[in-house]
Amino acid sequence: MRNFPLLALALVVTGCTLTPGTGFATLATSPLTLSFAPATGRLDEQGRLKTDTGYRLTLETLKLTVDSLVLQNSSSKPGAGGTATAFDPAKPPTGYTLCHGGHCHRLDGALIDYADIQADLASGGGGGGTTVQDVLTMPLNRTLNLALPSSQLRLDLCPTGCSLDQGTWSQAKLTFGMFEASGTVADGSLEQRLGPDNRRTWHLKWTPPAMIKRLAQSISRKSPPVLTLNGQVTISDQLFDQLDWEAITKDSPTLDLASQTAVLTQITKNFAE
């Protein structure tokens, strides 16, 4: 999956009124759309997905389990001495690991934009960290098969409406369960990297990191009484790029990402960009 603009959580308000005894606002039934639609140039004449390393993938399974969407409120703790810290992606601050593509991996698996990390450090958060509180959790627990050449599925958030308490949404966190993909790989070049048969089967399972999207929505008597949260998640056609398919399928069709750390790192990076 690409970077967070493709997790486009846009708030759209309607002009309904509240009835006595309800909360400060209501989250109406809201769509979360997941899609996999490779660009025309990414598919060959047989409908196989082309990678940037010259391989051709036939996707028989492309399943993603979506666990939940959590609306959160975050605030920075004062740092030691209140001193701002400069942010250097080459040296991730405490609480983060790999930084690339405009975001860093937080220890809880979330992907945080550079700008948000810098803002936290500038406020003194580098010494104290950030407090995150869940405001509303919307369980989904759905496994979706997106293996079609072009597929789009919709999930409904708050199908009966959700009552909202007074407060502020500062971010949304989308969490995932298992990602599973399988199919066959062929060499699209003339090098015969996969041997004379030019075909290998493959299968992988992996748990993607959570995705974080910054928000700024206050819930009060002055806010719109009814909100709709529209979410869009697009699986990138670059997900399987930068992989040496000859090497990773040589010994077994099952990609053991626990032992193939370089493959795990690359797929995680591709998922986030």
pLDDT value, residue 41? 93
- Identify which of 144-148, 225-229, 237-241, 260-264 has the greatest average pLDDT: 237-241
Tell me how far apart the alpha carbons of residues 17 and 11 are, in angstroms, rounded to a whole number. 17
pLDDT value, residue 112? 83
Tell me how far apart the alpha carbons of residues 190 and 150 are, in angstroms, rounded to a whole number. 28
Residue 45 has pLDDT above 70, yes or no: yes
Q: What is the mean pLDDT of residues 104-128?
A: 72
pLDDT value, residue 107? 77
Token pair listed for 62: 């492309």
pLDDT value, residue 23? 66
Of 168, 180, 210, 143, nearest to 60 (Cα)? Answer: 180
How far, in Å, are 35, 141, 181 from residue 64 at the CA level? 11, 10, 9
Q: How many CB atoms lie within 10 A of CB 141?
A: 9
Tell me how far apart the alpha carbons of residues 142 and 156 are, in angstroms, rounded to a whole number. 11
Task: Tell me the pLDDT tens digit for each residue of 183-200.
Answer: 999 999 989 999 999 999
Average pLDDT along the chain:
79
Q: What is the mean pLDDT of residues 227-234?
A: 80
pLDDT value, residue 239? 93
pLDDT value, residue 136? 85
Q: What is the mean pLDDT of residues 154-163?
A: 77
Global pTM value: 0.71
Task: Tell me the pLDDT tens digit for each residue of 73-114.
Answer: 866 555 444 445 667 888 888 888 888 878 888 877 778 888
Kindly indicate the confidence band of residue 248, based on its pLDDT and cuts at 50, 70 and 90: very high
For tokens 């407060």, name the residue.
Answer: 167
Please indicate whether residue 19 or residue 174 has the higher confidence score (pLDDT): 174
pLDDT value, residue 148? 56
Of 173, 139, 177, nearest to 155 (Cα)? Answer: 139
